């Protein structure tokens, strides 16, 4: 929750059968007209981007959907030989499938598991028909990517049907041709007369060709989110996911698959991002035939979704990108897609105000005058937005400590006798926020499973946001505050995982309820800048970005750890979406002492830059740096929030991590360059830039001018002094 500053400055996821049968169309048949990147030729389909092709067809014999190619752009399909069937695995288990169902001889991980009224879990989805749709329909109740202009995106819907169970599956594929991004979701409809239960549903499932792959994921825990892990994909299943009810600190709903020799800047890379904030599952399996199956979707441990006759379940959508320019290439595609076609907030590509957050400076120890003084001092230093963190609410159970008050979202009268809109926030209080009762007392509103103990984390329970009355209560409470104060920024925090639930379906129903709350509030208050948070990056996913353009990246503000977390998080999420703050030293989480300038430079790499400290605790020399850092932040923030990111040196590989941000038009850039350990008697390496125009000339820090070719092929050289030294270098096309 934030208050406007007291100045005029504005504030603010069969046994033996050998055959050689043509299963795909001939090259000549491929010459079909394209609709916005979608080419349909009979029952062969291609989604073509500027540099990517995703091709599949209907097996004429079986009606199964068979993948032909997902990789670099091709304009035709080389006919596929029928698999050699020897042994126990039938043909269906030896091909690359688009929608692997269960019980018919494909022994790899299925994308769907439907339990029928009779108890069968066999399913037999065959092609029924297809449609091509201009643009892209939104998903009911779920966050989804969207087009802005004609030609941004085209959609192909393939209708599959199981004749035996009368269950339909619609696979919706959309292609954003300029961004080499393919998006898929699945809708299951019960067209039968009995009830069925969906026990597994993957949003995206693809079988990549025979060959070796490495997989990349982001793992972590509280205060060490976004740690990049790369490992070989081996035979059998390997995967990860979340059963926390949220995307979680532990694993992120992102999967990278790369060729073994792919690097940050070279080689084939595939990226998958699930647009979902709840429990998810990522399965990667290399089968007996050497294909690698990758799938992302709802976590089956948290899914048991009943569908009565005529009812449907829609999966979240999942984005897949492909680049021949390494892992960095995939990241830049995600960033552009998310900034322009996922984030709905008007602040998505707007420069963000430099802020000061009260948490690490004051924790719960404050009242109105202490907040006023901190806000006043922040304003004098040039800070534009004051964020009042935890501790402002609750009267019956005041939240002056972390074991009371949650859900009682009324300003605490002792701390704020004048409410959340005292005169110094420049907004008259017209109506006091009210709500009927303290949530902490409403036991049926807290998630629980019968008489099982309600296990606490941080002395907290979780409100059951699957219940419409809880959704309405949150919407009303927040609307009261946002409608009656000058609050222009909301940090939406969530500090524990979901434990006991009344049923498995509640996990997904909770998420649908939460999305309804987010959507209603951001639509009602479009001028409020919302920041997501869940004990740091516990809910940093593509789903949340639809509503909140930024997320607090980690509770670990130690600048060294932050380089790892921010570089890791940037594998999929745009820098614009990362909140990053400068805090005091020794750091509260790690005890490490790092100079103020290095701490500031690391935080400046995040789209929402700020301070999280009481300036009174800084040395005079450090405090004196603040106005200059704010000036720099304001100069470079437009490039950070809208630019492309090039990770030049990775912290896991180099003592000199470096990142270059370039504006979308390529005219301006900002280079961040760090020395971690002090070295003695070592050479000073050149740092080679990337992403520049070789023929253009660039001025470096307003002085020397070099060609893009020189900067990319030879590079720049800087000398560092001691450990934790850093440089910020401005680059501009001459």
Classify burial at 4, counting beta carbons within 10 Å of its beta carbon; exposed 0-12, middle 13-18, buried 19 or more. buried
From CA 35, how far away is CA 721, in angstroms rounded?
A: 57
Of 555, 614, 644, 725, the catalytic one is 555
Report, in Å, the least distance between residue 222 CB and ligand DGJ: 9
Residue nearest to ligand DGJ (CB): 390
- Tell which one of 338, 359, 540, 656 touches ligand DGJ (CB under 6 A): 359
Could you tell me the smallest distance in angstroms from the CB atom of residue 538 to ligand DGJ?
8
Q: Report if residue 322 touches ligand DGJ, rule: CB under 6 A.
A: no
The distance of closest approach from Cβ of residue 391 to ligand DGJ in the complex, given in angstroms and rounded to an integer, is: 8
List 687's β-bridge partners, or say none: 716
Cα torsion angle, 653, 659, 660, 661, sign: positive
- Nearest distance from residue 144's CB to ligand DGJ, in Å? 27
Beta strands, E only, 101-152: 112-115, 126-134
CB nearer to ligand DGJ: pick between 30 and 587: 587
Alpha-helical runs (H) found in 581-619? 596-603
The answer to the question of residue 606 lying near ligand DGJ (CB under 6 A) is no
Structure tokens of 131?
Answer: 């449609």
CB of 392 to ligand DGJ, least distance (A): 11
Of 313 and 490, which CB lies nearer to ligand DGJ in the complex structure? 490
- The answer to whether residue 532 forms part of the interface with ligand DGJ (CB under 6 A) is no
The least distance separating ligand DGJ from the CB of residue 447, rounded to whole angstroms, comes to 19
Confirm if 71 and 48 have CB atoms less than 8 A apart.
Answer: no
Q: Which of 493, 622, 644, 725 is catalytic?
A: 493
Tell me: cis bond preceding 586? Omega within 30 of 0 counts.
yes
Which residue lies nearer to ligand DGJ by CB, 172 or 557? 557
Nearest alpha carbon to residue 274 among 603, 661, 4, 13: 13
Instruction: Give dist(CA 673, CA 657) in Å, integer.
Output: 6
User: 127 and 101 in contact (C-beta within 8 Å)?
Assistant: no
Using DSSP's 3-state secondary structure scheme, residue 146 falls into coil
Q: Which stretch binds ligand DGJ (CB under 6 A): 46-54, 290-298, 531-539, 558-566?
A: 531-539
DSSP string, 248-298: -SSB-SEEEEE-TT--SSSB-EEEEEE--SS-EEEEEEE-TTS-EEEEEEE
Tokens standing for residue 475:
């919407």
Question: Between 106 and 555, whose beta carbon lies closer to ligand DGJ?
Answer: 555
Which CB sits closer to ligand DGJ, 93 or 226? 226
Does 672 sit near ligand DGJ (CB under 6 A)? no
**Spatial contact of 565 and 225, defined as CB atoms under 8 Å apart:** yes
Residue 74: other Cβ atoms inside 10 A: 15
- Is 389 assigned a catalytic role? no
Question: Does residue 145 bind ligand DGJ (CB under 6 A)?
Answer: no
Select from 205-213, 530-538, 568-576, 662-670 the region that touches ligand DGJ (CB under 6 A).
Answer: 530-538
Cβ closer to ligand DGJ: 389 or 558? Answer: 389
Kindly list the distances between the CA atom of residue 482 and the CA atoms of 3, 11, 463, 521, 522, in Å, as whole numbers in the listed order. 11, 15, 21, 9, 11
Nearer to ligand DGJ, 368 or 493 (CB): 493
One of 217, 390, 531, 541 touching ligand DGJ (CB under 6 A): 390
Residue 94 burial by Cβ neighbours in a 10 Å radius (0-12, 13-18, 19+)? buried
Q: 217, 251 in Cβ contact below 8 A?
A: yes
Give the count of residues interacting with ligand DGJ (CB under 6 A).
Answer: 10
Tell me if residue 524 falls in helix, strand or coil: helix
Q: Which is nearer to ligand DGJ, 339 or 496 (CB)?
A: 496
The 72-111 site mask, x for binding ligand DGJ (CB under 6 A), equals: ----------------------------------------
By beta-carbon proximity to ligand DGJ, the closer residue of 163 and 457 is 457
User: Closer CB to ligand DGJ, residue 264 or residue 541?
Assistant: 541
The answer to whether the CB of 408 falls within 8 A of the CB of 393 is yes
Report the SS3 class of residue 158. Answer: strand
For residue 280, give the nearest of 313, 302, 255 by alpha carbon. 302
Report the C-alpha gap between 348 and 607 in whole angstroms.
10
Minimum gap (Å) between residue 246 Cβ and ligand DGJ: 13
Q: Choose which of 285, 493, 541, 644 interacts with ligand DGJ (CB under 6 A).
A: 493
| Residue 358 near ligand DGJ by CB under 6 A | no
- 606, 553 in Cβ contact below 8 A? yes
Binding positions for ligand DGJ, 539-598, rule CB under 6 A: 552, 555
665 is catalytic: no
- Contact window for ligand DGJ (CB under 6 A) among 292-300, 326-334, 529-537, 583-591: 529-537
Using the rule CB under 6 A, give the single segment among 53-61, 311-319, 474-482, 528-536 that binds ligand DGJ.
Answer: 528-536
Cβ proximity to ligand DGJ, 535 vs 608, nearer residue: 535
Should residue 248 be labelled a site residue for ligand DGJ when binding is judged by CB under 6 A?
Answer: no
Torsion 570-575-581-586 (CA) sign: positive
Residue 141, token pair as written in the block: 């109740």
CA–CA distance, 392 with 398 (Å, rounded to integer): 8
Write down the least CB distance from residue 533 to ligand DGJ, Å: 5
Task: Rank residues 574 and 579 by Cβ distance to ligand DGJ and give the closer one.
Answer: 579
If phi over 0 gives left and psi between -120 and 50 gives alpha, with beta otherwise, what is residue 727? Answer: beta
Least gap, CB of 267 to ligand DGJ (angstroms)? 36
By CB under 6 A, tell whether 389 contacts ligand DGJ: yes
**Least separation in angstroms between CB 460 and ligand DGJ:** 10
Q: Which residues pair with 173 in a beta bridge?
A: 156, 184
The one among 185, 477, 535, 588 contacting ligand DGJ by CB under 6 A: 535
The span from the CA of 204 to the CA of 282, in Å, is 10
Strand, helix or coil at 373?
A: helix
Minimum CB separation from ligand DGJ for residue 599, in Å?
A: 17
Query: Under the criterion CB under 6 A, does residue 162 sit at the interface with ligand DGJ?
Result: no
Closest separation between CB of residue 646 and ligand DGJ, Å?
Answer: 29
Whole-number CA gyration radius for the chain: 27
Helix 596-603 crosses helix 559-569 at what angle (to 10 degrees)?
Answer: 10
Judged by CB under 6 A, which stretch of 3-11, 532-540, 698-706, 720-728 contacts ligand DGJ? Answer: 532-540
Rounded CA-CA distance 338/641 in Å is 12
Q: Give 55's strand partners.
A: 46, 69
**Which residues here bind ligand DGJ, judged by CB under 6 A?**
359, 389-390, 493, 495, 533, 535-536, 552, 555
Q: Which residues are catalytic?
A: 493, 555
């Amino acid at each position: 929750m934030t208050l406007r500053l007291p100045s005029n400055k504005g504030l603010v996821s069969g046994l033996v059968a050998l055959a050689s049968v043509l299963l795909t169309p001939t090259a000549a048949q491929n010459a079909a007209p394209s609709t916005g990147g979608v080419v349909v030729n009979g029952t062969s389909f291609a989604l073509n981007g500027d540099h990517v092709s995703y091709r599949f067809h209907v097996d004429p014999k079986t009606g199964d959907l068979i993948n032909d190619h997902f990789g670099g752009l091709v304009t035709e399909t080389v006919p596929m030989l029928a698999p050699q069937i020897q042994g126990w695995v039938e043909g269906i288990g030896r091909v690359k499938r688009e929608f692997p169902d269960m019980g018919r001889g494909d022994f790899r991980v299925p994308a769907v598991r439907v339990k029928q009224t009779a108890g069968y879990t066999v399913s037999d989805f065959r092609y029924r028909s297809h449609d091509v749709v201009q643009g892209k329909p939104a998903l009911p109740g779920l966050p989804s990517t969207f087009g802005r202009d004609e030609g941004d995106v085209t959609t192909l819907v393939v209708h599959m049907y199981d004749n035996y169970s009368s269950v339909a599956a619609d696979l919706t594929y959309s292609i954003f041709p300029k961004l080499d991004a393919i998006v898929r979701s699945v809708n299951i409809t019960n067209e039968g007369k009995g009830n069925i239960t969906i026990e597994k549903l993957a949003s995206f499932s693809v079988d990549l060709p025979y060959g070796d792959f490495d997989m990349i994921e982001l793992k972590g825990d509280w205060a060490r989110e976004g740690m990049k892990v790369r490992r070989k994909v081996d035979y059998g299943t390997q995967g990860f996911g979340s059963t926390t009810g949220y995307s979680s600190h532990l694993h992120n709903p992102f999967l990278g698959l790369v060729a073994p020799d792919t690097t940050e800047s070279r080689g084939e890379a595939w990226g998958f991002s699930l647009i979902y904030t709840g429990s998810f599952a990522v399965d990667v399996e290399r089968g007996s035939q050497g294909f690698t199956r990758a799938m992302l979707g709802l976590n089956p441990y948290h899914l048991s979704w009943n569908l009565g006759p005529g009812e449907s379940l829609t999966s979240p959508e999942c984005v897949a990108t492909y680049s021949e320019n390494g892992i960095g290439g995939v990241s830049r595609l995600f960033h552009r897609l998310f900034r322009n076609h996922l984030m709905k907030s008007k602040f998505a590509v707007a420069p963000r105000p430099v802020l000061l957050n009260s948490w690490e400076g004051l924790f719960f120890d404050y009242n109105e005058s202490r907040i006023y003084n901190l806000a006043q001092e922040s304003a004098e230093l040039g800070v534009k937005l004051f964020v009042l963190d935890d501790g402002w609410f609750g009267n019956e159970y005041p939240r002056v400590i972390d074991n009371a008050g949650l859900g009682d979202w009324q300003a605490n009268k002792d701390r704020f006798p004048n409410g959340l809109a005292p005169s110094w926030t420049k907004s008259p209080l017209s109506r006091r926020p009210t709500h009927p009762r303290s949530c902490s007392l409403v036991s049926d509103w807290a998630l629980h499973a019968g008489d099982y103990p309600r296990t606490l984390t941080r002395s907290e329970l979780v409100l059951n946001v699957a219940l419409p009355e809880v959704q309405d209560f949150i919407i009303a409470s927040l609307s009261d505050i946002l409608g009656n104060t000058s609050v222009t920024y909301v940090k939406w925090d969530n500090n524990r995982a979901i434990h006991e639930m009344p049923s498995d379906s509640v996990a997904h129903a909770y998420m649908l309820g939460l999305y309804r709350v987010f959507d209603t509030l951001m639509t009602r208050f479009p001028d409020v800048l919302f920041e997501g948070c869940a004990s740091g990056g516990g809910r940093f996913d593509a789903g949340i970005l639809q509503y909140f353009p930024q997320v607090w990246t980690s509770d670990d503000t130690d600048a060294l750890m932050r380089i790892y977390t921010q570089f890791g998080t940037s594998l999929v999420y745009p820098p614009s979406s990362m909140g990053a703050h400068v805090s005091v030293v020794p750091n509260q989480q790690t005890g490490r002492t790092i100079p103020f300038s290095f701490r500031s430079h690391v935080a400046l790499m995040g789209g929402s830059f700020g301070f999280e400290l009481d300036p009174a605790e800084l040395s005079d020399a450090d405090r004196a740096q603040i106005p200059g850092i704010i000036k720099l932040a304001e100069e470079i923030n437009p490039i950070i929030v809208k630019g492309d990111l090039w990770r030049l040196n990775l912290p896991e590989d180099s003592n000199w991590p470096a990142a270059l941000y370039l504006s979308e038009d390529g005219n301006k850039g900002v280079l961040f360059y760090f020395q971690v350990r002090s070295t003695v008697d070592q050479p000073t390496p050149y740092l080679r830039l990337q992403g520049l125009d070789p023929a253009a000339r660039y001025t470096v820090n307003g002085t020397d001018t070099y060609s893009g070719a020189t900067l990319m092929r030879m590079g720049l050289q800087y000398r560092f002094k001691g450990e934790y030294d850093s440089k910020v270098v401005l680059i501009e096309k001459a």
